Chains A and B, each alone.
Chain A
Amino acid sequence: MTSIIQEVEKLEPKYYEPDKFPKGLNRKVVESISHIKNEPGWVTEFRLKALEVFLSKPMPNWGFIPQFNVDLNSYVHYVGSNRKKKKSWEEVDPEVLESFERLGIPEHERKYLAGLEAMNDSETVYANVKKELEELGIIFCDIDTAIKEYPDLVKKYLGTIVPPEDNKFAALNSAVFSGGSFAYVPKGVKTPMPLQAYFKVTAASSGQYERTLLIADEGSELIYSEGCTSIQDFETNFHTAVVELIAHKNARIHYTTIQNWKKNMYNWTVKRGICYEGAHITWNDVNVGAQTIKYPGIILYGDNSTGDVLSLAFAGSNQIQDTGARIIHIGKNTRSNILAKGVSLDGGINSYRGLVKFEKTAENSYSHIKCDGLMLDDRSESHAYPYNEVHVESAKLNYEATVSKIDEDILFYLQTRGIEEDEAKLLIVTGFCDAVVRDLNVEYSVEISRLIRMILEDGKAIKRTTPKLNKNEIKGQTC
């Protein structure tokens, strides 16, 4: 008997090779990922425990989930580096190439964004870790490196803000995460420039599971931004990331996301941060493409801590954006501010879903929630589902919601100034977005206004003026 088992083991190695993962998810898949990454035992255990949670949890049922036609068992959950890289411009999705033109993406960035060169996909490589950061004692690397080089820090915080038990997809991410950022800013230090990361999804049919962990030590300031572009085209693509932020006493974290993915992407991302005494977190979240379920969260744990969630979502044709915020007030005198803006067009559906909870301990705390929906046609939808729980008398909560269309009088006023109708509409929509967009990094701002134009063009709200590429031009493109 023993010899037969030994024979089988010889035939079937204990681990999958990096480029030969099968579809689906099981213990061997998880162990193999951990093995390839040469992770310490505690990480493997973390992953395996998460796998159990994932398998035991039922599928959630809100947002895009009812029409979530993704069979997770049909996915390869780890993609080795050999299979990820595209070789030439011909392999790049024409729509993506065209979007480079329409958005005016600088030439030198295109090869990275198109996935032709490293800045790998599932494993994020940070090309621009500056010496300057090191001199300040700031750690900024990918999570795999952090596990190897700063195991104590990672072990102390990983999974503490978003535990695998939190929900089915947090568990999935915890089991198979690969890539993502890690940053630590020491006491009293400020990031001299926004820490920046690009995430892309390229390999066909590969889920992407980044894991990001950012820690701002006492009195420090951490500014982080990510911009996302998807390349994947032919099959439904699923993405679930987990982001955890820790803002220690009097620290500040500002986290900016611009997600511009193809509409056939499904994105379930869990973002959550904790604020200790006097700390502050801002989530600045812009969602353009994809079908999204995302509610950036802040736990206001320490007294006098504050949090802002500023979000903007565009829902176009066949798109459901289910976004919002989760704020848990625990400390005294804590304050939160939620501004959720949604633009619906061409039949798209925007939903704000937000939870604001005041625990018994959150005396004299305050939350202001404002949801604004802008609908560009009668076929589109805008919804708000606010959930408020107040367990302490001295807390105050202020909620307002508006749904509007493009104002006829504003349109007229702009036109009396010679501005064409489409340009006037663009200006009005840009104005609607301003309160969220103005806090993004300056370098995004030009791209954002072009992005809004592209969205309105694609949603048939305005006529198309941005460049169209024909196939020959695409083939002839070099970089």
Chain B
Amino acid sequence: MNYILELIDLHVEVEGKEIIKGINLQIPYGEIHAIMGPNGSGKSTLSYTLLGHPKYKVTKGDIKFEGESILNLTTDQRARKGMFLSLQYPTQIPGVTTMNFLRNVIKSFYGDVPIRELREKINSAFDKLQMKKDFLARYVNDGFSGGEKKRHEIVQMRLIQPKFAILDEIDSGLDIDALRIIAENIQEMKSSQRSMILITHYQRLLNYIDVDKVHIFMNGKIEFSGGKELAIQLEQKGYEQILSTVK
């Protein structure tokens, strides 16, 4: 089987403390996997680690993207290979307008794009996320509401068209309409050539998205994996009960 992403006995330390304690995970092309788990279980650490944040150190094991180890690649190199990360709390960038930011983002993948084509790309992504264009003149994520920040993340995913995306709590802080719009966009982007990891606390996101697998993350490890139904059971019974019945 051909995997887009493989984690092999992955151990990760943050500031000297081991957070991820041996993960093995394979994600085939075209699949969307959900990772669920209690707070502090290491889910966000995994997302930072995949894109190579300097604070997150792989102490053992490997990450393979399209069959090759990416541990020696910088964050931007990983991104240009096709990996995308949406952070739980997207960062503000003071003084940089969203338009300028997106222009630079597109440039890093597609080189210099004529301004008209650039506008068209951006406008169409904004329309898909039902975002107002006046955000373009504002500084990146500055004064954006939680929902606007998340829409803006998916705007970027649409512009970049990554092969693989890890979306960390893309559903947190969203009202019902925003949740639906974002989830529909994610579902629409599902394709045989693109895989995703969704980190979430809630089953409701999965109502809109055709998820292939659900993994339960606890204490730095994947404790249990199953199909979409696992998320529903989890929401009804909670982590402890599920795991005790399983064991």
Give A contacts to B, CB under 8 Å. 407-410, 412-421, 423-424, 427-428, 430-435
Contacts and interface: CB of A to CB of B under 8 A. Distances in A.
B109 interface: yes
Given A410-B92, A428-B96, 8 more contacts: A408-B55, A413-B93, A415-B76, A416-B85, A417-B108, A418-B79, A418-B108, A419-B76
Contact of B94 (A413, A415, A417, A431): A431
B104 A416 contact: no
A149 B94 CA distance: 49
Nearest to A434: B95
Contacts of A412: 48, 51, 53-54, 75, 91
B96 A431 contact: yes
A434 B94 CA distance: 9
A410 B105 CA distance: 14
Contact of A428 (B53, B79, B93): B93
A395 to B, nearest CB: 30
A415 B96 contact: no
B156 to A, nearest CB: 7
A223 to B, nearest CB: 23
Contacts, number: 78
Category for how many chain B residues contact A: 20 to 34
B91 A417 contact: no
Q: Is the interface of A mostly helix, strand, loop or mixed?
A: helix
A412 B87 CA distance: 11
Given A430-B95, A431-B95, A413 B80 contact: no
B95 A417 contact: no
Contacts of A435: 95
B74 interface: yes
Interface of B: 48, 51, 53-55, 74-76, 79-80, 84-85, 87, 90-96, 100-101, 104-105, 108-109, 139, 156, 160
Nearest to A422: B76
Contact of A410 (B79, B91, B100, B156): B91
B79 A415 contact: yes
A410 B75 CA distance: 12
A424 B108 CA distance: 11
B136 to A, nearest CB: 15
A-B residue pairs, 3 tightest by C-beta = A431-B95, A434-B95, A418-B108
B91 A420 contact: no
B243 to A, nearest CB: 32
A421 B54 contact: no
5 contacts: A412-B91, A415-B51, A417-B104, A418-B160, A419-B76
